[in-house]
């Protein structure tokens, strides 16, 4: 996609619109039915002028509630693991692990948000917005002003499969995630959501 089309498409996604859609129902079904989930993703970070800051790609999986594994393969290797109680951020290049309590992290990362339970309606104001092509969009505005993101948009296929996720933070930076190879309710082994810091790395915890 050319930069002009990319910015145009993203601008449309970030403008307030109103249309009949069923994205909220798709979200509810996704939360209730997708007990486990796996997908590949591409991630683009843009600044407030829609200039590309960085691109990344990798894979993700989760098991509700609160367990997830988010792996960045490109352009650097990073691992984020939520074990249901804590979230581990492992940066291989820095040889550093950062640990936070899950309840402090939930909603501050795409991984934690997607792996949460059925509290999204409690924590976010939901509004159906637009249908673009075959994607139904919904907007989630955090009720807690201290949330890391000011606005979150989720795009679902007409069959209810998660396709895209757009997040805007307080600095007007936008993170755009596109999911592919999605699998709903795959069998995931418990060890995928466990993490032991490698020997010799620095561990920083709350």
Which of 73, 108, 72 has the alpha carbon at shortest distance from 87?
Answer: 108
For the entire predicted model, the pTM comes to 0.83
Three-state secondary structure along 90-128? EECCCCEEEEEEHHHHCCCCHHHHHHCCCCHHHHEEEEE
User: Which of 20-34, 141-155, 157-171 is most confident?
Assistant: 157-171
- How many Cα atoms occupy the beta-carbon half-sphere of 95 within 13 Å? 4
pLDDT tens-digit profile of 161-172?
999 999 998 888
pLDDT at 195: 95
Within a domain: 2? no
Within a domain: 139? yes
Instruction: Using pLDDT thresholds of 50, 70 and 90, give the confidence band for residue 179.
Output: very high
Q: What is the CATH number of the domain that holds 37?
A: 2.50.20.10
Its domain, for residue 154, covers 18-188
Within a domain: 5? no
Within a domain: 199? no
Within a domain: 147? yes
Within a domain: 43? yes
Domain count, the chain: 1
Q: In the structure encoding, which two tokens stand for residue 157, read together?
A: 């296929």
Question: Cis omega (within 30 of 0) on the bond before 75?
Answer: yes
C-alpha span between 84 and 102 (Å, rounded): 7
pLDDT tens-digit profile of 57-113?
999 999 998 899 999 998 989 999 999 999 999 999 999 999 998 877 666 677 777
């Amino acid at each position: 996609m050319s930069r002009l089309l990319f910015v145009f498409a993203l601008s449309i996604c970030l403008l307030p619109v109103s249309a009949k859609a069923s994205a909220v129902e798709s979200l509810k079904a996704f939360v209730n039915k997708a007990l486990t989930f796996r997908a590949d993703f591409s991630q683009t970070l843009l600044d407030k002028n829609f200039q590309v800051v960085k691109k990344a790609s990798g894979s993700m999986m989760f098991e509700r509630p609160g367990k997830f594994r988010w792996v960045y393969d490109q352009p650097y290797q990073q691992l984020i693991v939520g074990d249901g109680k804590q979230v581990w951020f492992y940066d291989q290049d820095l040889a550093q692990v950062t640990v936070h309590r899950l309840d402090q992290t939930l909603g501050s990362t795409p991984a934690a948000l997607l792996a949460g339970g059925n509290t999204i309606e409690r924590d976010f104001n939901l509004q159906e917005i637009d249908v673009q092509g075959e994607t139904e969009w919904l907007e989630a505005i955090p009720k807690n002003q201290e949330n890391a993101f000011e606005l979150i948009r989720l795009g679902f296929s007409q069959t209810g499969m998660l396709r895209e996720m757009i997040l805007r933070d307080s600095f007007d930076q936008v993170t755009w995630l596109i999911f592919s190879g999605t699998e709903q309710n795959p069998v995931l082994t418990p060890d995928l959501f466990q993490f032991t810091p490698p020997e010799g790395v620095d561990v920083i915890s709350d």
